[in-house]
Structure 1
Amino acid sequence: MGKPTPIEYADASPEVRAVFDDIMTSRNLKDVNNFWKYLARDPVSLRRTWESVKEVMAPGALDPLVKEMVYLAVSVTNSCGYCIASHSAAAAKAGMSEAMFGELMAVVGMANETNRLVNGYRVPIDAAFDR
């Protein structure tokens, strides 16, 4: 098998086009981004992933900016360059300032550092934290 290629709208099956149309309508876009085009190679995964993203990222107890910043933080921790770019743009669009981004990166860095220290030292959970 060679390198996967994206599925463009013009070449998409009706099932894939329906998902692409929903993405473009929901996000007010003229085209879907590359993530969805590559995922379209598996229409079942495309639909399932889009439905899950749409549900999880919808406004709820957490506002859209907080959700995008959490997504960005996890993407940084997982070293997903594509996701960092995508969710940085989405967070900025939702109102994230440069100062907020800087603090978020400081928290991400600190959390990763202390998590590794805890794991390395095998620190037991304090009774006060263990619910």
Structure 2
Amino acid sequence: MFDMKQLAKLKVLDASAPGAMKAFWAFDKAVFAEGALTTREKQLMAVAVALTTQCPYCIELHTKAAREAGANDAQLTEAALVAAAIRAGGAVTHASHLFKE
């Protein structure tokens, strides 16, 4: 199912809901602009989120954007390990619900 060529079909969304999609693309652009966090930091966060949501499109797109913003292998690795810790941590903390009073 995953095929980066599918992203070309986003133009259908743009044409079908131009107002909403224009707002979405503007929001996306604003979110990743330099601010209190650098673009590199934001893209590393996006990589970690993409890994936890397991979206192959987001993983590919944000890894590329992170690298373009200056992220290196060590930084991408740490972002991946943070994602792994958060995902595993969720399972561990929710395990507390397994035990009755």
Q: Normalized against structure 2, the TM-score is what?
A: 0.79
The equivalent residue for 2:19 is 44
- Structure 1 residue 102, shift from structure 2 partner: 1.2
Counting aligned pairs with the same residue, the percent is 29
Residues 36 and 46, structure 1, Cα contact 8 Å, conserved in 2: no
The equivalent residue for 2:75 is 100
Aligned-residue CA RMSD (Å): 1.8
Higher helix share: 2
Q: 1:118–1:76: structure 2 CA closer, same or farther, 3 Å change rule?
A: same
The equivalent residue for 2:53 is 78
Q: Normalized against structure 1, the TM-score is what?
A: 0.63
Segments of structure 1 that go 5 or more residues without pairing to the other structure are: 1-5, 7-32, 123-131
Segments of structure 2 that go 5 or more residues without pairing to the other structure are: 1-5
**What is the CA–CA distance in structure 2 between the aligned matches of 1:51 and 1:119, rounded to whole Å?**
36
One-letter amino acid matched to 1:48: A
Alignment of 1:60 onto 2:35? yes
